[in-house]
Each structure stands twice: as C-alpha cells, then as structure tokens.
Amino acid sequence: MDLQQITSRVAAIVEDTGSFIRSEASQFTAKDVETKSINSLVTYVDKQAETQLIERLSQVLPEAGFYTEEEITARDSREWTWIIDPLDGTTNFIHGIPFYSISVGLQHENDYVMGVVLEISRRELFSAWSGGGAYLNGKPIQVSKTNKLADALIATGFPYHEFSQLETYLETMSYFMKNTRGLRRIGSAALDLAYVAAGRFDAFFEFSLNPWDVAAGIVLIREAGGSVQDFHDTTEYLSGKEVLATNNLLALRMANILKQNFE
C-alpha cells in the first residue's frame, strides 16, 4: 500500500470539500441548524461534505470501510477504514468563528496510518502518513522543543455533554492556568492536534472525544516527533475517550498530573 500516494489523493479531495464549505459559509443561516443532542449541532453543510468525502474516498480505496460522525453511510470497520469528521468545529462554523476543519484518518487494523486535516478558513493543509513525516502545505513540520511546563502553551476542550468529571476537569484547568504560559480552547480537536504537530501548541488534553476527532491528528503528531497517550497508560487515546498529546518532552510531567487528578 503506497500511503504517500494515498495521502496526496486524500489531500486533493479534502481541499475540494473545503472549498464547498467555504462557499456555504457566506450564505449559511441559523434556520439550517439541527440539534442532535445537548450542545451537539449539525447542518446540511456537515452532511453534504461527508457525502462528498465518502463518494470520492470510495474510489481511492474501494475495499475500505467507513466510520464517520454523521453516519451518512453505515459504519463499517474493515481491515482498512476511513475515519471522517466532515466539519470539526460545527459550532464555530455556525457562529462565524473561523476555526473549523475537515479531518480524514485512515485506520489499518488497530492503528491509524494516515491523516489529513484542513483548516478551512486559512487553507492550511496538514498531512502525514506512517514513516513519511508530517507536513503543512507540503513543508515539513515538527513539534516544539519546550521542555518546561512553565513555558508551555497548552490546548484543551471544554466538556459539552459529559459532565460527570466536571469538577476534576476544572481543578486540572486551574493547575495548568497557574503553572503554564496559558490555556487555549479553539473548538476543534482536530486542529488542536494539528497545532501540536506544528509546534504552535506544546500539548493538548481532552476527554470524551470520538475516533473521528483524533484519528488524523494522532498520525500528524507521531510523524512530527510527538507522542499521544491517554491519562491511564492504556490505548483509550485511539477512541478519543482520553487524549494527551505532547511534544514528548512534557509527556511524563503532564501524564502524572492528569493521572493523579482523574484517578
């Protein structure tokens, strides 16, 4: 399997879908919003973007199944499976906040082997494949070299439907607010991970995500020299249930804090 060639083809498909989303942003209205569950929104743009991605990715790898957020096609995990979020940051999109993305990952058996994330508004395309390195608009990227927590800029995401650990989360945020350069929450986990890969953020943590939020970003970070794990030394990060992504230099320190707080 030529992952480099596949990545190139996926990048072109994602950019075309990004053009569609940008064109719809100017004419989108509040009446086009549907509520899936509390604080979980979807629009016709999400659905049409997912349809476009499915149709064209099916031609790239006909034998692959799909695992997508909007379930336009039945979820079907196979030896090769596309993991798709057609519009990560839908709430930002709805409110005209220009931080939203497309995320496409490719899973082979039990691991992710290719990822493409497009920051739609800025037309920044992040891409990576196993053993091939990570890239931003075709130029190599690497994680940061920050080795002190006090110098680190950390990204996170706020709980929006799973509130059972809210107090623990607030305590953890309080610690990082007091002991780092700062916290950021931009509203797209796929972009958070891409920014860690590019060295813009030094680390990212969040819980209660989904595979389509993290699949592409995990490959980006690994190939950019970083590391991804969960809070408790298991493989939960692959599902997005717990994700800690760092430049590797901060991994042990942050993992100990998260493990202690989320015990």
Each domain of the chain, given as residue ranges in start order, spans: 3-140, 149-261
Class of the CATH-defined domain 3-140: alpha beta
Q: Give me the CATH code for the 149-261 domain, please.
A: 3.40.190.80
Per-residue model confidence as pLDDT tens digits over 127-143:
999 999 999 999 999 99
Q: pLDDT category, 30, cuts 50, 70, 90?
A: low
Q: What is the pLDDT of residue 137?
A: 98
pLDDT above 90: percentage of residues in the chain: 73
User: What DSSP assignment string belongs to the chain?
Assistant: --HHHHHHHHHHHHHHHHHHHHHHHTT--GGGEEEEETTEEEEHHHHHHHHHHHHHHHHH-TT-EEEESS-SS-----SEEEEEEEEETHHHHHTT-S--EEEEEEEETTEEEEEEEEETTTTEEEEEETTTEEEETTEE--------GGG-EEEE---SS--TTHHHHHHHHHHHHHHSSEEE--S-HHHHHHHHHTTSSSEEEEES--HHHHHHHHHHHHHTT-EEE-SSSSSGGGTTSEEEEE-STTHHHHHHHHHHHT-
Q: What is the pLDDT of residue 115?
A: 98
